[in-house]
Chains A and B, each alone.
Chain A
Amino acid sequence: MIPRFHSILGRIAALHVLAFGAAAIAVLMATYVLLNSTAASFENQTLRAHADTIASYLSRGPDGRWTLNLPADLRTFYAHGFGGFAYAVIDANGRVISSSLRGQGAISREARDSGSAQYFSRTKGKASYTGASIPEHVGGATVRIEVAQDLEHPDVIFDDIVANFLRRVVWFTIPIMLLLLVADIVIVRRALRPVIEASDMARSIGPERMNLRLRSRNLPLEVRPLVDAFNAALDRLEQGFRQQREFTADAAHELRTPLTVLRTRLDTFPDKSAVRDLLRDIDAMSHVVNQLLDVAELEGVVVNPAETAELGTVCAEVAALVAPIAVGQGKEVALIQGQSPVRVRGNAAMLFQAVRNLVENAIEHTPVGTTVEIVVGEDGKVCVVDEGPGVPPDERDLIFRRFWRRDRTRTNGSGLGLSIVARIAEAHGGSIRVEYAPAGGAAFTLSLLPAINPSRL
């Protein structure tokens, strides 16, 4: 089974190791076979040379008796087993004419009938030897001369050469393979550096920096199609973003302009009392239009992660804006916050809108003569507490849905305000939840992420 590598370098290195390993084994095996056969033929030639030498000292008397008349040095050579050599001369009847072995016996037990030279190797106990049985023609008759060499003898070096060669080649192969792997790493790293740079670039592209594109210069040809496709996708995305923004802005203009004309016409109408109800209707309609446009705007919004806002200031602005409305209804608004500023991650305008919707919702539900409290916590939480009926547990998820209203016969409000709060909380990586306040009213808590200390960025 081939393991799956997630990195290109891993794949290349693994394939290289496999291919190199296979090649090395093949080369070693071929070398071994070649060396062995060369050594074997060299051994055979040596054995044959010994047989020929011995044959040259063999003579046959007129009575048919064989005489081996080795010179003194050769006799000593074979008698002491120099070079581990032994010989035996055998006549056509299988009788041993002469032998260097102590028992004057044959080296090979088998009868040799063949007219050609035969080579053999034997293992006898600890000793292993290689031998040849060579037919020699001397004085019109044929004898077999057996020559053997003890392979364990220190003078025998052929097999040692082969074995040593293989060991050394292995030690030689490993550094070459390591060198190859280092080369792989360098090549892949260098080839992929522009890809890593392109990745860094891609990471910095956000809704605020939609115009950025990845550079395809310097990139490896293999990666370029990916980058080109990515850039094309960004083009389409940017166009989509722009179209959505333009549509929302156009819709805002087309909806608000006639409302403004209508509102101003009524405002400048001489008889105020006649138009009071109409003005209230227009205000309600404007409210719904504004909230719908907020929903559309927030649909695709992404908060710049570097942006921060001071929650106390945001809440003070909301309180100042809505207090006259509350006072007009016989209700009050209070802001409670600590001494130190509370900096959170987020867009001040969006947070303003979220807190405003919460407070306006609270003012609507709190009875006349009571107070809506905006409590700014140092942990980046805003709690808006009213003294109304509160939200029963089974409605706590529903109220953040678009267009949800407990009482559908009521015409005030769009049922969008709290869904906008939920969307803004979500866009800020925060949350919104509602519980019963200790006194029984609703307590909405908007939790935001504390701003990261700039010194740690």
Chain B
Amino acid sequence: MARLLVVEDNKDLAELLAKGLQGAGFTVDSIATAADAEHVLATNRYALVVLDLGLPDGDGSMVLRALRTRQDSTPVLILTARGGIQDRVKGLGEGADDYLAKPFAFEELVARIHALLRRPGEILGRSFKVGNVTFDTVGRQVFVDDAPEMLSARELAVLELLMRRSGRVVPKAHVEDHLYGLSGEVRSNAVEVCVHRLRKQLADVGATIHIHTVRGVGYLISEERP
């Protein structure tokens, strides 16, 4: 079970985050000051740090810098309430792995933590589900309403990539790279062809997910509205 450190000075929020993250299957330690955070991080190992930037005894970015100076690569997800338009890109530049502006949706925080831990399947068992489609990462098998569906290796690869980032746009170049890693040669329209076939097959068996094309950008899987 992944152990997280939450550095947040607002007592209510720290408690709510701890409770919520525990509910999502994490072990959580809470710390309220930058000094305590530096002390705790120097002596303990965490799977990930959720770091608030506005702390009573200093800026959270100092904690981040101290961590990176020690060559500690523990993933850090920054939370900030102060950030303006121009600060939104700064956190990532200073060695943070991700950045979430307050107020945020709790689901979004959990999704980002999963993405940073690079073990999305592990937390939810070894499979993940969007709508009535389940992807079994171990058996490399797709089920629609519990009925197994036969897909080619390419189709499986694309579907897995999109389902892992369900609700978010996956850039087309990213999908192409993924296919390239699989077969070594990708024709210019290989992704389009593959997505087209996937859509048709999913629709034929009554899947409630849909692969949207965001023209000029990439693809997006979403659950169809009932």
For residue A440, CB closer than 8 A to chain B, the reply is: no
Nearest neighbor of A371 in chain B, beta-carbon distance: B215
For residue A253, CB closer than 8 A to chain B, the reply is: yes
Given known pairs A320-B214, A332-B212, the reply for A253 and B82 (CB within 8 Å) is yes
Query: Can you give 16 contacting A-B residue pairs, CB < 8 Å?
Result: A249-B84, A257-B13, A259-B103, A260-B10, A260-B81, A260-B103, A261-B10, A261-B16, A263-B103, A264-B13, A323-B169, A323-B220, A335-B217, A349-B89, A350-B85, A352-B88
Given known pairs A323-B217, A324-B168, A335-B216, the reply for A353 and B103 (CB within 8 Å) is no
Contact B23 A268 (CB under 8 A): yes
Nearest neighbor of A253 in chain B, beta-carbon distance: B81
Given known pairs A320-B218, A337-B216, the reply for A260 and B86 (CB within 8 Å) is no
How many residues of A are in contact with the other chain, CB < 8 A?
45
Contact B105 A268 (CB under 8 A): no
Contact B168 A252 (CB under 8 A): no
Q: How far is the CB of B31 from chain A (nearest CB, A)?
A: 17
Q: How far is the CB of A325 from chain B (nearest CB, A)?
A: 10
Tell me the residues in window 225-270 of chain A with beta carbons closer than 8 Å to chain B beta carbons.
Answer: 248-249, 252-253, 256-257, 259-265, 267-268
Contact A248 B20 (CB under 8 A): no
Nearest neighbor of A262 in chain B, beta-carbon distance: B103
For residue B171, CB closer than 8 A to chain A, the reply is: yes
**Which listed residue (A253, A327, A353) contacts B222, Cβ 8 A?**
A327
Tell me the residues in window 81-134 of chain B with beta carbons closer than 8 Å to chain A beta carbons.
Answer: 81-89, 101-107
Q: Which residues of B contact A (CB under 8 A)?
A: 10, 12-13, 16-17, 19-20, 23, 54, 81-89, 101-107, 167-169, 171, 212, 214-218, 220, 222, 225
CA distance A297 to B84 in the complex (A): 7
Contact B103 A282 (CB under 8 A): yes
CA distance A264 to B21 in the complex (A): 11
CA distance A265 to B171 in the complex (A): 33
For residue A117, CB closer than 8 A to chain B, the reply is: no
Contact A347 B86 (CB under 8 A): yes
Contact B85 A298 (CB under 8 A): yes
Contact A349 B103 (CB under 8 A): no
Interface centre among A252, A260, A328, A353 (most CB of B within 10 A): A260
Nearest neighbor of A279 in chain B, beta-carbon distance: B105
Interface centre among A248, A261, A330, A374 (most CB of B within 10 A): A261
Contact B214 A332 (CB under 8 A): yes
**Which listed residue (B16, B19, B214) contacts A323, Cβ 8 A?**
B214
